[in-house]
Amino acid sequence: MNHILNKGQKQFKNDKHLELEDLYAVPPDMEAEHLSNQFWKYYREHHSLLRALWKIARKYYFAAAVWEMLYIIARVALPMALRRLLIVIQTAQEGESIVKDALASVIVMAVAGFMVALCQGRSVFLSTQAGIAVRAVLTSVIYEHALQLTPRGRMGLTTGTITNMVATDSQKLYDVLLEGQNLWSCPVLIIVVAVLLWMYIGPELVLGIVVLILFLPIIKVIVGTMLTIRKERSKLTDRRIQIITVMAVRDQEMSLLSKELRMWGLVLTTAVSSPILAFGVAITFFVLSANNNILQPSDAFSALLFFSILRFPVNLAARLVGKAAQALDSIRRIDRFLQRDTRKEISNLMNEQDNHEQADDILLRVQNGHFILQPEGAAITTTAPTSLDKQQKKQGHGFERPFMEAMPPFQLQNIDLQVRKGQLVVVVGRIGSGKSTLLKALLGELPSDDSVRIRGTLSYASQEPFIMNASFRENICFGNEYDKVRYEEVIDATDLRPDIARLGASGDLSQIGERGVTLSGGQKQRVALARAIYANATLALLDDCFSALDPSTARRVFDSLFRAKHGILRRGGSILVTHALHFLTQADLILILEQGSPIFLGTFEELRELETKSESVETSMVEQIQDASQDMVAHLHHHGVTERDGVIMTIEEREYGKAGYAIWVEWARNAGGWSFILSQTLFLCLDRGIYVAGDWWIALWSQGWQDGVSVFGMDFPPQTDGDEAQVQYVCIYLCIITLSVLATLLRSLWAMSAGAQCAKQMFRVMTQRVLRAPMFFFQTTPMGRIVNRFTYDVEVMDVELSVAMTGLMMSSSWLLSSIVVMAVVLPWILIPLAPVTLIYIYTQSYYRMSGPDLQRLDAISRSPIQASLAEGLEGAHIIRAYRKELRFAASFRHLVNRNSAAMMNFLAGQRWLGFRIEIMGASVTTACSLIIILANDMLNINAGMVGLLLQWSIVFTSALNFFFLRLTDSEARLTSIERIYNTSQLDSEAAWETDASVTVLDTLWPQHGELEFDNVCMRYRTDLPLALNSVSFKLKAKSRCGIIGRTGSGKTSLIASIFRITEVESGRILLDGVDLSKIGLTDVRGRD
């Protein structure tokens, strides 16, 4: 990491910043493509998702296990060396040098501290690599599988379900793998500690281990309750991002969130308190079980350190059991998804026998085709109905709309069709007669009875155009190599050249936005049509692709494509589904469908000559053809889209360097302000003060192993006086630890409640701002980014940040209290502590020039994954039609690799700093030990106070590391607050309510409906040309008006300006004499 951190430092000094391109890429064996290939191999071999994932993760996990074992050895060596050192001190005669006897113990403590830092860092990083690999492969295979789902396979799925698997389920598995070593290392550590306590002190101390283990089911119950609450909250989260009653759902979600955070408070309290409670029970039983059981400093502080060692592993293991259960649920959910029906390899291409039997110009043959669109089962929502669902249903809102709703069986039958080269086949029929279903059947989207044979390739233009968030040219080429000659021919044929001319200097390289938000409906349809033509397929399937074009444009485009012998699509074959019956005169074949069956197949002349029972139907069609509207004015001026440098979508905001002071203040302000800060400071001081008092009492207690002790004028007898003396010591200690538990619970719950308050406030403001954001925000912001705010960032703010900030406050109080204890017991320790502190500050500052940016890069690299996933799900049928699954999957995997690289670099940076901080902490412990053994005669500190000093010097090491982890974690989580805060600063639309001081509206307004445009100019954004340029007209009351114009001429813009979806730049719009710009939006858009 030195190279990246050096680069980050240099760029920071030069006011430049780290970007994704500056990071190390993931190793080849962690790239998504390699992992995906391995996964499918293992999955097909074992038919088990769990086994396939294990085979991917095991090489990292086995290596991590080796380092974890070395960590356990080094961890238990520390209290062993401490015990040996205290024995030397407490048995030394006054004036006797202890350097020779104690030096070995000091060296062991120093080496153990170094090994703990090294081994733990390696174990965590290797476990992290395993988690990143599993998350990357799951993200990739879910996307790949989603692209291949059949209509039956998509039944019951929602886009939210698939997004949730990628964003949440894969993350759960990552979290489990990150901490998974505790599943085996915790039992091993418990056994080792129990054996050592038995050997060194006695079997009575093992009772403390039993008590500590008894906390496991307690923690398990708490975590189980928390996970149950989270599961219920997740249902509401899924609902929140899909339905309109956002705040109503959020209120219910916040109630569950408060309960979940209270559970977190209990978990943190248990984690801190369980070791001292177990130690208290063990020591009590030890000293009262036999008169000769004397609590010596060497026994007391080594035992206390042993119990402290078990604190985090035991609590993590208990939490991990719940997380593992949750991860298994995710695995089962993903496994069920991977078992859904997918498209098989299409085998409808003409084989050699077909080629021999059929004429060379036959491109498509359907013989007695029978196709069924019959999804099995009803649509399944991802969540059970909540009370809010029932309330909404009563109000008519209903439940969420599935990705594909259950529909009654639909059959296409008796289809016989041949398409020859150069032919245009037009398919007509009423809505719901099966026209689009026929195209889907030809594309292989429906189960086939082998009745379809195709020669060559297919292209497809769907009824709803699929537009990528890419450049104009990329949307047309769609992954095919750019051929300038053909491209220009296609542009002319689809009449897109005037539109490109208005794209500005970047021309067809301009981005046209997510879902083509900057294009009109007709422009989108022509882009999709151009894509189908540019593909140069032998057979083009066109689904109602002229419906959004104005008549003159539609006629020009149709003639360019299909005029006899010279049309660009006459080089192959074409099937056109349309409701524009005037195009039938140009068709070579006409297919009329009625309720899934063909009722006519022939030429236009044959259609006119029909004298069958269905003649009345066909005659009406012919009459419609003859009465079809004529071409409109061909060259109406229309607006286009102009973008500076071809950029439409805004770049995701990213503050550089450390999390700004303002963001910390924003969190504190929303958490409760000064009242929260002052009260939490008081609770932290109370908590740490009582906790230190407990350890101080242990030092005094153990000091009385030979002589009595005096405290605040009170005399306590030596322990050798028997049970009466021990009971006094025990009662005071039990009172102290009881108060300590209560203080810890109080400050934990208070901090968590502040986190919930902050989450509630910030979500409310952000939601209001987004709901009231002007239209250009949605035109320039990818939907994946907005979804990311309301899913990932909100989840981080709700839970992870609350936990991180609570941990930060706790660790800072630990750190300060350890410094105070060391300084009081041994003031000389301030001499080595000063340079360590300076080195620590420098190292932190050096790292933080790059560290927060590394976390931000991880966060912002998630949004493109979400956006690409949503885009792929929306256009899956188009991607399959063009056989571009591999290209889109490769593009998606590239985004996954970038996010994996960002995460791996960030976590490697954390370990880089964590290792150095732990070495600094170990050096303080070593300095304390050396000062004690070298100046023992002069200092004259008893063994009890030495134990207290060394105990808290080791706490200092843990607190320093814990403080760093919580600080960087909090800063990392604050990036979500930063993005939520930035979203909360969006510009808003005009006021909702009418200002009575400006305009007084009659309660019956509008009564007549007289509309007047007075020199109205309107543009969608400041960097775009005018969409309406000095438009003036007046419509009298009760009159009707039709608006006509070619694609992009401003028809939709007129409506948008009336409803103030986009505000006018100048001029007035009057309705019954009232200027619409002077009244509130609720009055403009609909009055009760």
| Between residues 223 and 366, the one the model is more confident about | 366
pTM: 0.76
Q: What are the phi and psi torsion angles at 766 (to 5°)? A: -60, -45
Place of tokens 């791996």: 904
**Sole residue written with tokens 């017991």:** 825
Round to whole Å and give the CA distance between 124 and 911. Answer: 8
pLDDT higher than threshold 70 for residue 1010: yes
CB 863: neighbour CB atoms within 10 A? Answer: 22
Residue 1063 phi, psi (nearest 5):
-75, 150
Nearest alpha-carbon partner for 511 in 478, 482, 479, 474: 474
pLDDT tens string 3-55: 888 888 887 777 777 888 888 899 999 999 999 999 999 999 988 999 999 99
Residue 106 DSSP SS3: helix
Q: Which residues contact 197 (CB under 8 A, 6 or more apart)?
A: 205, 206, 208, 209, 303, 306
Q: Say how far apart CA 1044 and CA 1057 lie, in whole Å.
A: 17
Weakest-pLDDT range from 470-479, 684-693, 854-863: 854-863
What do you get for the CA distance between the two ends of the chain, in Å? 63
More confident residue, 641 or 461: 461
pLDDT band at 625 (very low <50, low <70, confident <90, very high): very low
pLDDT at 527: 92
Percent share of the chain, pLDDT over 90 = 24
Pairing of β 597-602 and β 589-594: antiparallel
Dihedral-angle region of residue 31 (phi above 0 means left; psi in -120 to 50 means alpha; beta otherwise): beta
Task: Please say whether the beta carbons of 1037 and 1046 come within 8 A.
Answer: no
Distance CA 508, CA 476 (A): 10
Helix (H) or strand (E) holding 231: helix 206-240
> Helix (H, G, I), strand (E, B), or coil: what is residue 1040?
coil
Phi-psi region of 396 (alpha: psi -120 to 50; beta: other; left: phi over 0): left
The secondary structure element, H or E, covering residue 780 is helix 775-780
d(CA 644, CA 291): 87
CA nearest neighbour of 1071 among 1029, 1031, 1037, 1040: 1037
Question: What is the structure's pLDDT at 514?
Answer: 65
* In contact, 385 and 399? CB cutoff 8 Å: yes
The yes-or-no verdict on residue 974 having pLDDT over 50 is: yes
The mean pLDDT of 920-924, rounded to a whole number, is 90
Q: Name the least confident of 46-50, 386-390, 1060-1064.
A: 386-390
- In the three-class reduction of DSSP (H, G, I as helix; E, B as strand; rest coil), residue 594 is classed as strand
Higher per-residue confidence, 212 vs 68 = 68
Angle at 545 (CA atoms; ends 541, 549), nearest 5 degrees: 160
Residue 826 is which amino acid? L
In angstroms, the CA 1080 to CA 1078 distance is 7
Domains of the chain are 2-338+654-983 (1.20.1560.10), 362-376+407-455+581-614 (3.40.50.300), 1011-1085 (3.40.50.300)
Measure the CA angle with vertex 106, ends 103 and 110; round to 5°. 140
Please, what is the average pLDDT of the chain?
81
In percent, the amount of the chain with pLDDT more than 70 equals: 86
Query: Which pLDDT tens digit goes with each residue over 855-902?
Result: 778 878 888 888 888 888 888 889 988 888 889 999 999 999 999 999
* pLDDT band of 659, cuts 50, 70, 90: low
More confidently predicted of 494 and 714:
494
β-pairing, 424-429 vs 589-594, is parallel
pLDDT of residue 1087: 64
Q: Give the whole-angstrom CA distance, residue 1082 versus residue 1063.
A: 15
Rounded to an integer, the average pLDDT of 739-753 is: 90
Give 220's Cβ-side CA count (13 Å radius): 12
Q: What tokens were used for 885?
A: 């699954």
The first and second tokens of residue 216, run together, are: 């496991």
Confidence category of residue 661, pLDDT binned at 50, 70, 90: confident
Identity of the highest mean pLDDT range in 79-93, 109-123, 613-627, 1003-1017:
109-123
Contact (Cβ atoms closer than 8 angstroms) between residue 49 and residue 30: no
1086 Rama class: left (phi>0) / alpha (psi -120 to 50) / beta: left
Query: What pLDDT shows up at residue 1088?
Result: 57
Q: 182 falls in which pLDDT band (50, 70, 90)?
A: confident
The pLDDT of residue 349: 58
Question: Among 61-70, 177-186, 245-254, 807-816, which range has the highest average pLDDT?
Answer: 61-70
Average pLDDT, stretch 974-999?
A: 78
Q: How many Cα atoms occupy the beta-carbon half-sphere of 684 within 13 Å?
A: 19
pLDDT of residue 784: 64
Q: What are phi and psi of 425, to 5 degrees?
A: -105, 125
* Strand ordering across the sheet containing 597-602: 458-461, 539-543, 573-577, 424-429, 589-594, 597-602
Q: Output the six-digit token pair for 427.
A: 């398919």
Please list, in sequence order, all residues whose beta carbon lies within 8 angstroms of the beta carbon of residue 144, skipping any fewer than 6 positions away.
Answer: 36, 885, 889
Phi, psi of 24 (to 5 degrees): -70, 135
**Token pair belonging to 69:** 């074992």
Of 600 and 392, the structure prediction assigns the larger pLDDT to: 600
Residue 685 Rama label (left phi>0; alpha psi -120 to 50; beta):
alpha
The first and second tokens of residue 555, run together, are 């006629």
pLDDT, greater one: 160 or 144: 144
What pLDDT does residue 647 have? Answer: 46
What confidence score (pLDDT) does residue 400 get? 42
Look up residue 581 and give its two tokens.
């019956």
The answer to whether the CB of 537 falls within 8 A of the CB of 572 is yes
Residue 300, Cβ neighbours under 10 Å: how many?
Answer: 28
* Confidence at residue 236, expressed as pLDDT on a 0 to 100 scale: 64
User: Between the ranges 25-34, 286-295, 802-811, 1021-1030, where is the mean pLDDT highest?
Assistant: 25-34
Compute the distance between CA of residue 163 and CA of residue 167 in angstroms, rounded to an integer: 6
Supply the pLDDT for residue 354: 52
- The yes-or-no verdict on residue 114 having pLDDT over 80 is yes
- Gap between the Cα atoms of 145 and 164, Å rounded: 15
Dihedral sign from CA coordinates of 413, 416, 421, 426: negative
Q: What's the pLDDT at 637?
A: 32
- pLDDT on residue 95: 65
Chain-centre distance of CA 203, in angstroms? 50
Amino acid 303 reads A
Would the pLDDT of 382 be above 80? no
Q: What is the pLDDT of residue 392?
A: 43
Among residues 1072, 1023, 1036, 1029, which one has the least CA distance to residue 1054? 1029
The residue with tokens 């003159």 is 552
Instruction: Give the three-state DSSP class for 540.
Output: strand
Is residue 1011 within 8 Å of residue 1071, measured between CB atoms?
yes
Which of 171-185, 645-659, 980-994 is modeled with the greatest confidence?
171-185
User: pLDDT tier at 128 (50, 70, 90 boundaries)?
Assistant: very high
The dihedrals phi and psi of 646, each to the nearest 5 degrees, come to 70, 15
Give the pLDDT confidence score for residue 337 in this predicted structure.
92
Model confidence pLDDT, tens digit, residues 223-271: 778 777 767 766 666 555 554 445 556 667 677 777 878 888 888 888 7
Neighbouring residues of 94: CB distance < 8 A, sequence distance ≥ 6: none
DSSP-assigned letters across all residues of 950-988: HHHHHHHHHHHHHHHHHHHHHHHHHHHHHHHHHHTT---
Sign of CA dihedral 314, 316, 319, 325: negative
Tens of pLDDT, residue by residue over 304-314, are 898 888 877 77
Q: What is the pLDDT of residues 539-578, one digit of tens each?
A: 999 998 888 888 888 888 999 999 877 889 998 999 999 9
Cis peptide before 27 (omega within 30 of 0): no
Looking at per-residue pLDDT, the higher value among 237 and 76 belongs to: 76
Most confident listed range (1-15, 610-624, 638-652, 947-961): 947-961
CA-wise closest residue to 256 among 993, 862, 756:
756
Q: How many CB atoms lie within 10 A of CB 1067?
A: 17
Assess contact for 1087 and 1069: CB atoms under 8 A. Answer: no
Distance CA 774, CA 778 (A): 8
When mean pLDDT is compared over 197-211, 369-383, 395-409, the highest value belongs to 197-211
- Is pLDDT at 773 greater than 60 in this prediction? yes
Any idea what DSSP says for residue 651? Answer: P
